[in-house]
Amino acid sequence: MEQKPISVFWFRRDLRLKDNAGLYHALKSGLPVLPIFIFDTHILNNLSSAKDRRVQFIHETIVSLKQELNKLGSDLLVLHDTPENAWKKLFGQFQIKHIFANRDYEKYAINRDSLIEKSATKHNASFNVFKDQCIFEGDEIVKDDGTPYTVFTPYSRKWKTCLNDFMVRSYPSENYFFNLYKTEQQSPIPTLQSLGFESTDFLFPSKDIKRKLVVNYANQRDYPAIDGTSHLGIHFRFGTISIREKVKKAATISDIFLNELIWRDFYKMILFHFPKVNEGKSFKEAYDRIEWRNNEIEFQLWCTGKTGYPIVDAGIRQLNETGFMHNRVRMIVASFLTKHLLIDWRWGEAYFAEKLLDYDFSANNGGWQWAAGCGNDAAPYFRIFNPALQTKKFDQQNKYILKWVPELHTPDYPTPIVDHVFARNRCLSVYKKALSTPF
């Protein structure tokens, strides 16, 4: 064991050196700070594809992060193991006095951190976590009577009244880089292949967006043929950018863009106050009585973009090929699965979790429950998107659709798997029956 006492900063969903809350506090703790990252086998072993681009993105980011630290005379220690085993090795190798990390809000992460905190206590080390993913977390934004908000609009109003310069201040980690653990021995990073994954030639979206996009966001965000959205989701998901920095800029440019950032806090707040959604339950529990059809053949047609509804098929094909789906199209696609086909929203949630580059449990769960009518939505359950009307409104010239469904006007394109009017009436009937059934 190395005898010199140290602190450890554990990178997770915060893969950057600048404006990193946990890293800042670690560097100010007074002890040399050893940065680490763990390729968690609990997570990796559950991924279905060896070409999961999210792992590639993390790997590329870790390589860059390590290079930055090497230039500062430090290093990034990268482990490929379960967190429990990784920390057992670390405690055997170093005299660790403090562990620093940024807080995570998902069920797996909460349980993981609880285990590591117990292990730290056994080794007389402290375990310290900080807010970094959100502007406001937990019960920081509640109603005047102390109860949590369950609808976005009033939550967002309160959120904005509470926003101030303090909440978006930057953490100047760079002022304390001299406290990084100094070493000339550079530890190797596991290759992508040794992790069980393959590299692709995929070009990830930039974390830099132009001011013009944010200025025009309100007018262009709903039109999928226009490149009018930021594509920052993957960077927020893995913390390669600072939420504080983006909120600070958005607050002065576009209220609509700012709202999109507030949604992230809102859904994490829902996880905190309503842990049942972390357990796969509907936010509105009565909706768990719905008798889903769950037709597996129809589900596969939806998954492969062969429903005969062009905008739905375009969205799914875009997702399958790029790991991204335009947000307006996400709503249409999710509504179609849950209400036209009466397939359990959890099936769609799981499919998106497998495919989305920017997959985030709270936002994915919240979006799917919203679409199914069982989530945080003030509107009643009978909101059912009409794909044809949505197309006429947001892709009238079929520019988006034809990019992903080039066979649209040929005999190769399938007929609709269900009639819209029939599906709408069936959905209303099934929902009404479920919600009128007493407990």
Distance CA 129, CA 317 (A): 39
Quick one: CA torsion of 264, 104, 279, 339, rounded to 10 degrees? 20
Specify which residues 126 forms β-bridges with: 98
The single residue of 174, 263, 295, 398 carrying the catalytic annotation is 263
Q: Which two tokens stand for residue 248?
A: 């600070």
Specify which residues 100 forms β-bridges with: 9, 128
Residues written for the chain: 439
Distance CA 113, CA 216 (A): 41
The single residue of 216, 295, 327, 398 carrying the catalytic annotation is 327
Residue 336 to residues 298, 385, 418: CA-CA distances in angstroms? 11, 7, 10
The single residue of 68, 137, 216, 292 carrying the catalytic annotation is 292
Half-sphere exposure of 190 (CA within 13 A, CB side): 19
Distance CA 96, CA 116 (A): 13
Distance CA 100, CA 102 (A): 7
Give the containing element (helix H, strand E) for 127: strand 126-130
Q: Is the distance from CB of 356 to CB of 323 less than 8 angstroms? A: yes
The single residue of 10, 87, 302, 345 carrying the catalytic annotation is 345
Query: For the range 181-188, what are the long-range contacts, defined as Cβ-Cβ under 8 Å and sequence gap of 24 or more?
Result: 181/6, 181/32, 181/33, 181/34, 181/35, 181/74, 181/75, 182/32, 182/73, 182/74, 183/73, 183/74, 183/75, 184/73, 185/75, 186/66, 186/70, 186/75, 187/75, 187/76, 187/77, 187/78, 188/78
Which of 128, 97, 137 lies closest to 1, judged by CA?
97
Q: Is 327 a catalytic residue?
A: yes
The single residue of 159, 368, 370, 404 carrying the catalytic annotation is 368
Distance CA 17, CA 339 (A): 44
Q: Is 263 a catalytic residue?
A: yes
The single residue of 20, 259, 260, 349 carrying the catalytic annotation is 260
Q: Is 260 a catalytic residue?
A: yes
How many Cβ atoms from other residues are within 10 Å of residue 289's Cβ? 15
Query: Helix (H, G, I), strand (E, B), or coil: what is residue 135?
Result: coil
Distance CA 47, CA 56 (A): 13
Query: Between vectors from CA 259 to CA 378 and to CA 284, what angle results, nearest 5°?
Result: 25
Q: Is 345 a catalytic residue?
A: yes
- Residues classed as catalytic: 260, 263, 292, 327, 345, 368
